[in-house]
Amino acid sequence: MKFHVNKNETVPVKFTKFYAGYGVGEIAAFPEDFAKGIVKNKAAVFVGPDGKAIDQNAAADEAADKVAAEAITTDPTKGSEIPIPDNWRDLHHLQRLALAAKIKGETVATADEADAVIAAEVARRAAA
């Protein structure tokens, strides 16, 4: 799932119904997990920096494609020495972020990006 993360690492949402003192149409930013919960409860939608709702399906597909393309490089050994446990999807999101950062060789910003990096590396290894 792709969404805009502010420089203070919060995620803006626009409320679609009254929720915890927020009115319909109000925009507020929360930590990622809390914002996901509000959206999951259908009380709000993710918005970009312009305040417009983000099409989650299109954004998620685009983000996954971008991360997968970056993770698959011409260097077939990149990330190969990093062990990936079979149950990597069950790891805590912070563990997945750390694992993805090791594989990619740079910081990974979100759990969704980490999942895409790890999945791409698992697929690359399976194809090799």
Q: Any idea where the domains of the chain sit in the sequence? A: 1-54, 56-127
Q: What pLDDT digit, counting tens, does each position of 4-58 carry?
A: 555 667 888 888 888 888 888 888 888 888 888 888 888 888 887 776 777 655 5
Burial of 86 (0-12, 13-18, 19+ CB in 10 A): exposed
pTM attached to this predicted model: 0.42
CB 111 within 8 A of CB 88: no
